[in-house]
Amino acid sequence: MKLYFILFGLIPLFVNAQLRLAKIFSDDMMLQRNQPIHIWGKAIPGKTVQVSFAHEKRITVVQSDSNWIVIFSKQNACIKPQSFSVISGDEKIEIKNILIGDLWLCIGQSNMEWPMQKEMHYKEALPNSRQPLIRLFNPIYAGKNTYSVSFTDSIIQSLTKENFYKGQWQSCDSNSFKTMSAVAYYFGKELVANINIPIGLINISIGGAPLESFISKEAIKNSKKFSDKLDGDWLTNYALPVWIRERGYQNVGNLTSVPNDEYGNNHAFKPGFAFEAGIVPILNLPISGILCYQGESNAQEIERVNEYADLSALMIADYRKKWKQPDLPFYFVQLSSIDTLKYKGQLWPQFRDEQRKMLSLIPNSGMAICSDIGFKDDVHPTNKKDVGERLARWALNKTYHKNIIPSGPLPLRARYENGKVVIHFQYCGKKLQTSDGKTLTGFFS
């Protein structure tokens, strides 16, 4: 992104610069195909803003609250880099190297955040990491990797919805993909290989974050079942997961200078905070769908386990309403298998069953199963390649209508018959068989 100033004599006017674009706009970005294109930002109230894009011009007057927005005609997918310019008075901003394709929003906690450079297949992927049709928006968030201690002053200053996420778009190459969500990268790579259009990945996942952080406070407050999650200070609210409140208290519980509201000090784990900081700023940007790998922080107490499917349904219904896309796809990852000797995973089988219920509870959804690739005693399995590709199968089948089986076999019903249990499955392909070709010996959840 470049900002130009017209000079009067030799005196630069940058000291009075007022024209700004929303933070989601930068060089190397992706715009959603086949939907009207929104470009917006801030400028001096009453001033005129002119935006030029795709051989069209739009002119608008800045509102009294400093906001402006223009809308362009929808575009087909395009691999030829484009640009747009914004002019207001003596100021000009130009955004270059834009592709038109499909945008996917990635949310969740550390398993979605897990970067390529720590992924099992990273060395194999590195030689082919230059993927010019993949664009990455992978911002860093305030407090990343800071645990068990109070936040520093610099982190505290960023605990506002305006400053929480910091980053810009990047073209996918050997440098940018290192820190990108491995699940998201493999998902995008698989889509490009099969549909050959540009794919943009917006990753706002947060290590440890509960689902509540990604849900709007409006949706929570208006829900009879979940409104108690906004009762008073979130750090002492027993309707929220215990673990995230403990971590939150370690970071901001004893500090008095943290930005706050009636629900307590700001933090990545606070109900509605990731929504306000990461979702609200891009609601004018149409997207193709949502990917979610989340749940570990909501699987520690039975009360949180039993509500998860309904809580997820609340979130997605609200996203679809706010984006005005009632059929917005939602593809999520079921938690993996794990032993309980070194990790508190006793409730994970029940939690996985709760996630299974989401398939029937949330229309236009799909679940990637990863029980077979979980680690025995580590909450972070490093094989994200299979996870991303399994999510891609759902998208290829349901969103892009490819003739591909979207999932491994999912049980539909079971009945006892003549001394045997007969199980009916969906997505069987031609036949069922074990991964090692041997006789089936049992089931586990």
At 34 the pLDDT is: 98
Instruction: Categorize the per-residue pLDDT at 326 as very low, low, confident or very high, splitting at 50, 70 and 90.
Output: very high
Dist. CA 424–CA 411, nearest whole Å: 6
Average pLDDT over residues 155-174: 98
Helix (H) or strand (E) holding 220: helix 217-221
Quick: pLDDT tens for 362-411.
999 999 999 999 988 899 999 999 999 999 999 999 999 999 999 888 88
Quick: pLDDT tens for 60-88.
999 999 999 999 999 999 999 999 999 99
Asked if residue 13 has pLDDT above 90, the reply is no
At 100 the pLDDT is: 98
Cα distances from 354 to residues 86, 240, 407, in angstroms, run: 48, 18, 18
At 16 the pLDDT is: 55
Give the three-class secondary structure for 182: helix
Q: What is the dihedral of CA 187, 385, 202, 215, to 10 degrees?
A: 100
Between β-strands 48-53 and 67-72, what pairing exists: parallel, antiparallel or unpaired?
Answer: unpaired
Helix, strand, coil share (%) of the chain residues, nearest 5: 30, 25, 45
At 427 the pLDDT is: 85
Asked if residue 114 has pLDDT above 90, the reply is yes
Task: Indicate the average pLDDT of the chain.
Answer: 93
Nearest in space to 26 (alpha carbons), one of 2, 45, 49, 42 = 2
C-alpha 261, offset from chain centre: 25
pTM, rounded to two decimals: 0.93
Asked if residue 2 has pLDDT above 80, the reply is no
Dist. CA 98–CA 29, nearest whole Å: 5
Average pLDDT over residues 164-176: 97
At 87 the pLDDT is: 98
Asked if residue 14 has pLDDT above 80, the reply is no
Where along the chain do the CATH 2.60.40.10 domains lie? 2-97
| 431 or 33, greater pLDDT | 33
Instruction: Categorize the per-residue pLDDT at 342 as very low, low, confident or very high, splitting at 50, 70 and 90.
Output: confident
| 342 or 84, greater pLDDT | 84
Cα distances from 294 to residues 196, 209, 306, 335, in angstroms, run: 29, 8, 15, 8
Average pLDDT over residues 302-317: 98
Asked if residue 7 has pLDDT above 50, the reply is no
| 18 or 437, greater pLDDT | 18
Q: What angle do CA 394, 400, 402 make, to 5 degrees?
A: 80
Fold of 100-398: Rossmann fold (3.40.50)
Length of the chain: 445
- Counting residues of the chain whose pLDDT is more than 70, the rounded percentage is 96
Structure token digits, residue 70:
């223009």
Average pLDDT over residues 421-444: 78
Asked if residue 444 has pLDDT above 70, the reply is no
Fold of 2-97: Immunoglobulin-like (2.60.40)
Asked if residue 442 has pLDDT above 70, the reply is yes
* Segments in 324-439 forming alpha helices (H): 348-361, 385-394
Average pLDDT over residues 13-19: 63
Asked if residue 113 has pLDDT above 90, the reply is yes
Where along the chain do the CATH 3.40.50.1110 domains lie? 100-398
Dist. CA 135–CA 114, nearest whole Å: 18
